[in-house]
Amino acid sequence: MKVLSKLFALLLVLALAVTGCAAPPAPVADGGSSAAEAPAETSGFTVGVSNTLVGNGWREQMICAIKAEATASGVVDKVIVVNRNGGPTEQIADLEGLISQGVDAIILNPTDRDGLNAVLEAAIAQGIVVVAVDQAVTAEGAYVVTNDQVAYAQNGAEWLFEQLGGAGKVAEMRGIDGVPADTDRHNGFMAALANYPDIEVVAETFTGWDPSVGAQQTLDLITTQEIDGIWTSGIDYPAVEQFTTANLPYVPIVGADNNGFVKQLLELAGDGLVGAAVTNPPAIGAVGMSIAIDALTGNSPSLVTTLNPEVIATGDTAGLEALYAPDQQPGWSTYVNIAPYTHYNGSADVSACKGPGE
Amino acid sequence: MSTLLNGRTTQWQRLLARNSWVLGVWLLLGALIVWYSTLIPVFGQFQIVSISKNSLPLIYLAIGQAIIVIAGGIDLSLGSLLLLGNVLAARFMDEQSLGVVFLVAVGVIVGLALLNGLTGYVISISGVPDIVVTLATSYIWSGLALWILPSPGGGTAPEMRWLFTGSPSGIGGGYGLPILMIVVPSLLVYFVSRHTRTGLSLYAIGSHPVAARLAGLNVRQAKIVSYAIGGAMAGLAGLATVAITGTGDPRFSVGATATLNSVAAIVLGGVALTGGEGSVLGVVATAVTLIMLNPILTAMGIDSNSAQVIQGVLIAGVMMFGGLAILLRERRS
């Protein structure tokens, strides 16, 4: 009897294996046809996307912007997104999978500056266009598109210090200790601070880029000490909410281009809220797509593209209104149109999150 | 049992019955590889190397987990030990001579075997459940990894990368070495577990610790040995990781994912979580299968968010199927 049941088990496994083998005629045909078409010179491109942080709003918007730009371009047939949590080991496997699928270009948000170079250089050697967005890679021949994180903090901090007339007590609310973007931003903040000897940093916190943590820290700060201004690394609208909660007068505050913050800057201006939204767009993914298409169609874009953060502050109502997206969540990053790179129709297209043919 | 032992069943049938699950998972893997080859434009050396080398860390970790679970334990710190091995190698192999690199490699394997052997010792004298002790040590090892290498970096020798990936740059080599690096350690551990006195004692204490003790086996020693083998395999996984990526990465999430995958691989590979049952050979196939799921689902054009759900459903499905097989077997005998 034992033998029988074991044979039964074996047969089931076999059946599983065989059905697994026979079931998917459709995908096979799909793969076959796209493989048969040699990549055209001007259109019909397949672009692979590799991301290794799942469940993060900024990264999801980045992927949606890539898809939206691919659709808007009209020359990309297919976007293959490989999206899972992991480190360099997982990303190398994902990149090799994309190469195996015969993509024409790869857009990646890299987990490591140097660790992916061998696989990226192998892809480039096969004629695949490689574009690293958000964070840099050192692979030879790879296109790199980044937001200037040093300038992000420096521009915002300078606005704040000017707003305070060059003197006062400020809080620096950072992101995650040890993360390159946080280190760069801190350096930018310190560079701005060097020119304002009468500005005193009375508190430095790490929000972990977590809205609830940032909110609690803000509440603690404003209820326990005298603060004249706050610089945040992007946890902005939860911080503003704390002033309302504690029924305290607003102080000048620097945040990112988050929809909730832009809304507050517009609606609470009458109540005395003064602030600046500094752009750190996830739409950088769309810029990467645009550069990939340029490279594929022989327009030879430059290898390094750095987006300079813009400061859109109270007083520039038209600028803030242009950013504000009433249909989106508070965490939505509003700075989605990046001239001359993006071709889609604003937040609506990005939030639809449709790649070509979807 | 009677059917198995009486003369009417042939040697061949017995072998097949005993190894049906192992055979099944290898056939499944074979079918998956064939299927994958039809999903992508070209299937050649690049793809074989890619699959085999990328599977190495999980294969090693799963073999280590299998031995520990067979001996009646479970080790939630294996992923953190992988991190520790990875950052130790990346930190101390960076720009060193081949001799130093070799010594560091040996040091990582032996060192982690000793560390985890110590964990096994602590478990056996304290009587605290394995899951609690190894959860605690997982935080210790990953904390230590962050202390050794605070942010991703370091490096290794080209020879080291060549050994595991078949190429000094980590990509573009032949498939001989990666496959050899799968086969040799797997067969070595398989042989030790099935054909040595120590190995068989692992099955005995995992199956019934009291009976094993009464039969005169040194239960504590067997426990320590199983954890030491697990530690050594985690060290090897750390070396494979530094060979594949060329850097060290101390992030906790990487280790946590690796631990969970190692448990998934052994369960799918037919190792009973209750101990005393299963084979290292099945685990090798399921580790590769888990690594292959991602590229396959992507190649099928399945949306990346659904891919995770499908992966989970597949694991749950196969595990329930395994449970059903056991249930049927118990009912009939």
Per-residue pLDDT tens for A178-191?
777 888 999 999 99
In a domain, A273, yes or no: yes
pLDDT at B13: 79
Average pLDDT over residues A190-212: 93
Task: In whole angstroms, give the CA distance from residue B296 to residue A27.
Answer: 11
Cβ separation B31–A100 shorter than 8 A? no
pLDDT at B305: 67
Cβ separation B294–A1 shorter than 8 A? no
User: In this complex, is the C-beta atom of B246 within 8 Å of any C-beta atom belonging to chain A?
Assistant: yes
Which CATH number characterizes residue A288's domain?
A: 3.40.50.2300
Q: Write down all domains in chain B, each with its CATH number in brackets.
A: 43-301 (1.10.3470)
Task: In whole angstroms, give the CA distance from residue A343 to residue B235.
Answer: 50
In a domain, A220, yes or no: yes
B55 token code pair: 């599977």
**A interface mutation test: which of B56, B164, B247 has the most A CBs within 10 A?**
B247
End-to-end CA distance of chain B: 8
For residue A196, which amino acid is it?
Y
Nearest beta carbon to residue A5 from set B244, B308, B328: B328
User: In this complex, is the C-beta atom of B329 within 8 Å of any C-beta atom belonging to chain A?
Assistant: yes
Per-residue pLDDT tens for A210-225?
889 999 999 999 999 9
A121 token code pair: 């250089």
Q: In 10 A of CB B298, how many CB atoms?
A: 25
pLDDT at residue A35 greater than cutoff 80 = no
Helix (H) or strand (E) holding A5: helix A2-22
Task: In whole angstroms, give the CA distance from residue B247 to residue B33.
Answer: 29
A165 and A254 in a single domain? The answer is yes
Domain count, chain A: 2
CA distance to A19, B31, B290, per residue, from A22 (Å): 5, 10, 20
DSSP H helical ranges for A203-300: 211-224, 237-246, 259-267, 284-296
- The residue of chain A with its CA nearest to that of B14 is A3
Cα distance from B103 to chain A (closest Cα, Å)? Answer: 23
Give contacts of A 185-224 with B, CB under 8 A: none
Report residues of chain B scoring pLDDT below 50.
1-3
In a domain, A23, yes or no: no
**A interface mutation test: which of B304, B315, B326, B328 has the most A CBs within 10 A?**
B304
CA distance to A214, A225, A231, per residue, from A220 (Å): 10, 8, 15
A115 and A194 in a single domain? The answer is no
pLDDT at B315: 75
Task: In whole angstroms, give the CA distance from residue B165 to residue B90.
Answer: 16
A164 and A73 in a single domain? The answer is no
Cβ separation B172–A9 shorter than 8 A? no
A129 and A159 in a single domain? The answer is no
Domain span at residue A137? 41-148+282-309+336-352
A302 and A348 in a single domain? The answer is yes
pLDDT at residue A116 greater than cutoff 70 = yes
- The residue of chain A with its CA nearest to that of B10 is A3
pLDDT at B83: 95
Cβ separation B23–A7 shorter than 8 A? no
A343 and A248 in a single domain? The answer is no
pLDDT at residue A240 greater than cutoff 80 = yes
φ/ψ of A332, rounded to 5, equals -65, 130
A199 and A268 in a single domain? The answer is yes
The 3 state secondary structure assigned to chain B is CHHHHCCCCCHHHHHHHHCHHHHHHHHHHHHHHHHHHHHCCCCCHHHHHHHHHHHHHHHHHHHHHHHHHHCCCCCCCHHHHHHHHHHHHHHHHCCCCHHHHHHHHHHHHHHHHHHHHHHHHHHHHHCCCHHHHHHHHHHHHHHHHHHHCCCCECCCCHHHHHHHHCCCCCCCCCCHHHHHHHHHHHHHHHHHHHHCHHHHHHHHHHHCHHHHHHCCCCHHHHHHHHHHHHHHHHHHHHHHHHHHHCCECCCHHHHHHHHHHHHHHHHHCCCCCCCCCCCHHHHHHHHHHHHHHHHHHHHCCCCHHHHHHHHHHHHHHHHHHHHHHHHHHHHHC
pTM: 0.82
In a domain, A18, yes or no: no
A129 and A204 in a single domain? The answer is no
In a domain, A84, yes or no: yes
Q: Looking at this predicted complex, what is its ipTM? A: 0.84
Nearest beta carbon to residue A20 from set B32, B254, B299: B32
Per-residue pLDDT tens for A315-347?
999 999 999 998 888 889 999 898 899 999 888
User: In this complex, is the C-beta atom of A33 within 8 Å of any C-beta atom belonging to chain B?
Assistant: no
- The residue of chain B with its CA nearest to that of A19 is B31
In a domain, A59, yes or no: yes
What DSSP line would sit under A329-353, residue for residue? -TT-B-----TTT--S-HHHHHHHT
User: In this complex, is the C-beta atom of A35 within 8 Å of any C-beta atom belonging to chain B?
Assistant: yes
Domain boundary among A278, A299, A323: A278
A74 and A144 in a single domain? The answer is yes
A162 and A252 in a single domain? The answer is yes
Name every chain B residue with its beta carbon within 8 A of the beta carbon of A101: 40-41, 298-299
- Of A110-114, A136-140, B16-20, B230-234, the range with the lowest mean pLDDT is B16-20
- The residue of chain A with its CA nearest to that of B328 is A5
Residue in A15, A261, A282, A164 with CA at minimum distance from that of residue B321 = A15
In a domain, A266, yes or no: yes
pLDDT at residue A284 greater than cutoff 50 = yes
A66 and A140 in a single domain? The answer is yes
User: In this complex, is the C-beta atom of B46 within 8 Å of any C-beta atom belonging to chain A?
Assistant: yes
Cβ separation B246–A115 shorter than 8 A? yes
B102 token code pair: 């070799």
A252 and A269 in a single domain? The answer is yes
Give contacts of A 92-121 with B, CB under 8 A: 92-94, 96-102, 111-119, 121
In a domain, A13, yes or no: no
